[in-house]
Structure 1
Amino acid sequence: MVERKKQMTRDKVSRLVNWGHWFAFFNGFLAMIIGARYLSSVGYPETIIGWGYLAISTIGHFSFLAFIVYVVFLFPITLLLPYSKILRGYAALVATLGLCILLYDTIVFDDYGIHLSPFAFDLAWTDLNALLKSTSYIATPTAIILIELTAANFIWKRIEKLEKKQFGNKAIAFVGICFISSHLVHIWADASDVTQITRFDDTYPLSYPATARSFMESHGIEGTNSDDNRYQTKSRNLSYPILPLQCKDPALLSQQTNVLIISVDGLRADMVNELTMPFLTQYQNDNKQFTDHFSGGNQFKTGMFAMFYGLQGNYGDRKEFYHTPPVMTVAMVQAGYQQAIFLSEENEKVFDNRSIFDGLSVITNESEEGSAQTDMKNVQAFIDWSASQQSHWFSLVNLSAPKHYDTPIGFLGIETIKPHIDVKPAQKVLYNQYRQSLYFIDQQLKELLNHVGDDTLIMITGTHGQIFSSNPSEVNQDLSPGNVKVPFVMHWPNVSADTVSYRTSHFGIVPTIMSQVLHCNNSTRDYSSGYSLLQPSQQKWVYIGDSRTFAIYQKSEITVLDRHGKYRIYDINYQKQLKQKLSAPELIQVMREGRRLYNQ
């Protein structure tokens, strides 16, 4: 009799375990349906290979999450309290809570681009009224728990039929194959830079696709090393500009000003001095210099995007902006400006198949002797182009030698000095080589500006700053002041020299040109995240970076965040503050600005 009771208990537990597996499988299916909301935030695949990977990844990932919830929360209860009614009710509550958390995560991800975490939860709780715009947050959990209770009872009544048909092993095998295959495919895609696949890396919560770049490359499978993010998308309707531009008719202007922007990759603000860059130092003393100016990012892509669009870098990762030209260059075309940009082929490829340079003649050069030689070619190309213009023009000249620590062969530089910042012994070599490159660029600036008239509006700045490292990954992830704070000097015709001490950024370049040169009457908020450089910004923070990693520069602290919600807080000297708490109100302003053009 005792043996029979034990056997009955084992059979009952076995049946409950089988039921739990099918219940978990059902909830994995529901999770996939809710998970489809993530795709409305990042955009749908545009290739067959993208759809194929997304299918197996979705099935494998959400089924795995559902199984983990079952193992952690249901399986122990099955052994401790093997009573079907209690277990079914408890399982329905657990599943409802899990799906509601997933649903809430889709809302947070759609608005902020990050998944739930203690940081994201605090942020979303503060901004709760903006996130939950209807009563659906009451009706939805009610509907989910009704579905869960119905499903739990339905599966329990048919568990014997399911066992007889032996669907369980087939379902487990199918899900297992999808899970393993998705990781194997991602290993290949990561090593080969297949962006149709790797762009979904951060889409799903708790998703950590396997990577083996070094392993694959050692076996002869090399990536393209491209930085192509064409598939970072956003599906909402874009309002850019928010209102139609209202600019003065060019025919009513007595004279239109030529505009020249000189952007130097890797130009630190603290390296412009009489010893290293004597010409630029004197030039900024004779003109309007901005002593607290920031780029829009720490890379060419984000810095240039800020200069042309005047928008936060997270907009640049969205699909619409790959096909939307800047309002500034569109207005320039309407005003009859001849436009050209001069840059290296390497930098031009960063914006391949994008509309950022629409309306401009893109003139590229490249030299096997290095980026310094390329810069010399681009300077000469600009001199020739500007001399041939018969009407007003706008041009941007991009120089990149400092980013690569490059100088021409045979270049006679300046003497080495002790670094003014704390650097490691190996970095001292890079520091002084960097100074040689800046000295070379200083001479190129002098040569270029000798061929530009005083009646031209001239802006000289850095695309981004520079840290002294030969590791590209380290450089691209560093958001310290040395990597993002750049000089900015502006020559305004018939305006006396001046020093501007309030904080400015690249986001102010577009509003300045739009309002002062093109005489557009729109509020700068219609098309930009910034304000004119000629007035202090109303914002108490500056956004620097892109949608993956960005920094918020405030008056006395710097907050660096990634899209997973991890954050670190530094003081203004970039020393980590261990006990400092995040300032939620400012961060909410940043997040709202990042989605403002989609909420009109």
Structure 2
Amino acid sequence: MNTKNMKFFIYFPLLLGLIFSILSFRFTSPDEFTGAPVWSPVYFFSYSFFYYSFLNLLLAAPFALISLVNKKVGKFCAYIVLSVFLIFFVTDSFVYQQFRLHLNIAMLQMTLLGGGQVVSFSGSMILQICLLMGACFIAALVCFWLANVLSNTQPRFKPSYLLAFTLVGLFVCQGVYGFGFAYHNPYTSKVEENLPLSRPLHFNKLLIKTGLVSREDVYTFKKTDAKGAMNYPLSKLDCSGGEGYNIVFLVVDALRFDMITEQTMPNVTAFSKNAINFKDHYSGGINTRHGIFTLFTGIPGSYWDSSKASKSGSALIKALQTRGYEIGLFASAPLTMPEFNQTVFATLPDARLNSKGNNPIEKDESAIEDMEKWLTSVPKNKPFFAFLFLDSVHSAIFPETEEFTVFKPYWKEVNQIKLSNDFDRTPYFNRYKNSVFFTDKNLGRALSFLGKNIDIDKTIIVITSDHGEEFNDTGKNYWGHNGNFTKYQAQIPFIVKWPGKASIDIGYRTSALDVVPTLLPRVLGCKNPVSDYSVGKDLFEPSGRNPFVYVSNYSKDAFVEKDRVVLINEIGVLSFLDPAYNPAKDQSVPPYLKQVLEESSRFLKKH
């Protein structure tokens, strides 16, 4: 084996790693480390060096093997591939500085196929791009030459030592990040927020199991004064006046839009007859995380990670606090997973985070009881906001007594392994509907209590959900939620009883992102332009509505139009599906993508 040749394939990636580390400053703002501890920038640039050196080593490895057969071909290929990677890195830095987003395939599709909707290329811009590409190739060529020179010398440190040093450095940086993530350290999180392709490891459960970190450290909110990536709202909320109504959110996890019937939800159906019914209402997510996040913030679910890192809170809660509202949170499932205590409720460090009970049935009852006790303690002269979040439907659980086994036959025991495209959904769907029927009784109890114990003429009551639930409705073997962006998973009920407003059915499409820009100006008297804190529209304004709604899940973003779904999938590829989740006939890039790009980065700090 030619040791000089192998030396080259260690030196070359590591030298380029230094270039990557130096250029990482382009992913920081001028005040990024102002007030930060000294180790924060040291960690940031050290992580960058070790991480990108490691990626370069991985990219170069196949060509090191090729070089055993043909040295020149192997080196040349490594030079081209790593140069292209460097070009990608530099290009991404320009995208990040402008939009606070990272380059992906979807953005390239929008740019190259969007007819200038996102970026239009002038002659001078094309020249600058060519010069930058040339500079990257030259920088890589210098590293290439130095690697060759070093390969022919006898350095003090063997290349194998440098390789070991790089791997140990990467391991240490990953470990620091893991501990920092568990302790909500905002300085370590910058490497995941700012750097492209950076996916550091999270190992909270391992740290808890080994006793190195306590469960309280991981799941208890810690407020920080550190500067995060979010700039939300854009200006301090100026809220005074308004209708000043009390607000009650009654939210049922995983409640389908088509469950509001006399058979499944008699209490809610009766309530809806004297309320405003939004018949084409979509969640901002097909999971709990993004559904609740968009409801309280009015911004797309893609901001979740930045919000969590910055502890930026929600515009709704901030406005309520500004107006002196009493705020009560009564969730059946913990508000720490997903980390709502660090996102939408981040400005409420003493919030109620858990319910007592051994199962969702008991926890739902505990949440309702605590809400009732809290409401009776609220001073009569104080406005209040109450959030009740019930979980039994999400678990498809109910007391299996004659009273609640309305829909038969029902699946006695859920076994997800049995689900397939050929599985008869009826028993499973019946079990779900029984849980809905049971939850309707709980909602009936809550509504009855509200009617007897608060001033109903001064209270807005909202009944809605965080996402839908599918039972293979499309015939494509989708079950549950977080799987696709059809109406079965994304569309939800939205029923509002608003003092002074007549009951009516509203047919135009609305979204969870429209709730905040409705409540803040109308009820809380916020005078900021809506664009300061939301991308949504007033629920009661039919004109000027977008031709799409934002819907997110853990790995995808979708723009749901009337007749198709424009999807950015896991690997960043833009695709087009019809409402039944078949390939859409219309494969054209939509004209609103420039708007999407702006709204997806508006609330991130710019350089």
Q: TM-score, normalised by structure 2?
A: 0.76
Q: Are residue 461 (structure 1) and residue 470 (structure 2) matched? A: no
Distance in 2 separating the partners of 1:18 and 1:50: 27
Residue 498 of structure 2: aligned partner: 492
Secondary structure in structure 2 of the residue aligned to 1:260: strand
Q: Are residue 284 (structure 1) and residue 275 (structure 2) matched? A: no
Using the TM superposition, name which of 96-105 and 301-310 deviates more: 96-105
Residue 440 of structure 1: aligned partner: 438
Residue 378 of structure 1: aligned partner: 367
Task: Report the AA paired with residue 498 of structure 1.
Answer: I
Distance in 2 separating the partners of 1:227 and 1:553: 34
Secondary structure in structure 1 of the residue aligned to 2:393: helix
CA shift, 1:74, in A, is 7.7
Q: 2:521 aligns with which of 502, 505, 515?
A: 515
Q: Cα gap change, 1:511/1:173 in structure 2, threshold over 3 Å: closer, same or farther? A: closer
Task: Report the AA paired with residue 296 of structure 1.
Answer: G
8 A contact 2:286–2:553 mirrored in 1: no
Distance in 1 separating the partners of 2:479 and 2:46: 27
Q: Are residue 505 (structure 1) and residue 503 (structure 2) matched? A: no
Q: Are residue 398 (structure 1) and residue 389 (structure 2) matched? A: yes
8 A contact 1:269–1:485 mirrored in 2: yes
Task: Report the AA paired with residue 91 of structure 2.
Answer: Y
Distance in 2 separating the partners of 1:98 and 1:460: 50
Question: Which runs of 5 or more structure 2 residues have no equivalent in the other structure?
Answer: 411-419
Distance in 2 separating the partners of 1:288 and 1:194: 44
CA shift, 1:164, in A, is 6.5
Q: 1:555 aligns with which of 548, 554, 562?
A: 562
8 A contact 1:340–1:360 mirrored in 2: no
Summarize deviations over 1:103-135 as a string: whole Å, max 9, x none. 223444674745543x33222445335999998
8 A contact 1:542–1:553 mirrored in 2: yes
8 A contact 1:24–1:67 mirrored in 2: yes
Distance in 2 separating the partners of 1:95 and 1:278: 64
Distance in 2 separating the partners of 1:473 and 1:435: 15
CA shift, 1:437, in A, is 1.4
Residue 340 of structure 2: aligned partner: 351
Distance in 2 separating the partners of 1:134 and 1:229: 48
Secondary structure in structure 1 of the residue aligned to 2:334: helix
Alignment of 1:9-48 (within 5 A): 22-34=11-23
Residue 589 of structure 2: aligned partner: 583
CA shift, 1:290, in A, is 0.5
Secondary structure in structure 1 of the residue aligned to 2:255: coil
- Which has the larger share of helix? 1
Distance in 1 separating the partners of 2:478 and 2:589: 31
Secondary structure in structure 1 of the residue aligned to 2:466: strand
Q: Cα gap change, 1:355/1:488 in structure 2, threshold over 3 Å: closer, same or farther? A: closer
Summarize deviations over 1:35-78 as a string: whole Å, max 9, x none. 5656779x999999997994785165233145248549988774
Q: 1:318 aligns with which of 306, 328, 350?
A: 306
Alignment of 1:123-202 (within 5 A): 123-125=110-112, 126=114, 127-129=118-120, 137=129, 140-153=132-145, 156=148, 159-160=151-152, 162-163=153-154, 167-175=158-166
Q: 1:241 aligns with which of 204, 227, 233?
A: 233
Q: 2:92 aligns with which of 83, 96, 105?
A: 105
Distance in 2 separating the partners of 1:213 and 1:321: 16
Residue 67 of structure 1: aligned partner: 60
CA shift, 1:241, in A, is 2.6
Secondary structure in structure 1 of the residue aligned to 2:389: strand
Q: How many residues align?
A: 568
Distance in 1 separating the partners of 2:214 and 2:94: 34
8 A contact 1:193–1:223 mirrored in 2: no
Q: Cα gap change, 1:486/1:136 in structure 2, threshold over 3 Å: closer, same or farther? A: same
8 A contact 1:290–1:487 mirrored in 2: yes
Look at both structures and tell me which one has the larger radius of gyration over its CA atoms: 1
Q: 1:541 aligns with which of 531, 544, 548?
A: 548
Distance in 1 separating the partners of 2:286 and 2:387: 19
CA shift, 1:267, in A, is 0.9
Q: Cα gap change, 1:325/1:164 in structure 2, threshold over 3 Å: closer, same or farther? A: closer
RMSD over aligned Cα, in angstroms? 5.1
Task: Report the AA paired with residue 387 of structure 1.
Answer: T
Identity across the alignment (%): 20
Distance in 2 separating the partners of 1:372 and 1:428: 23
CA shift, 1:19, in A, is 5.1
Secondary structure in structure 2 of the residue aligned to 1:346: coil
Distance in 2 separating the partners of 1:345 and 1:21: 50
CA shift, 1:216, in A, is 13
Residue 572 of structure 2: aligned partner: 565
Task: Report the AA paired with residue 526 of structure 2.
Answer: C
Residue 51 of structure 2: aligned partner: 58
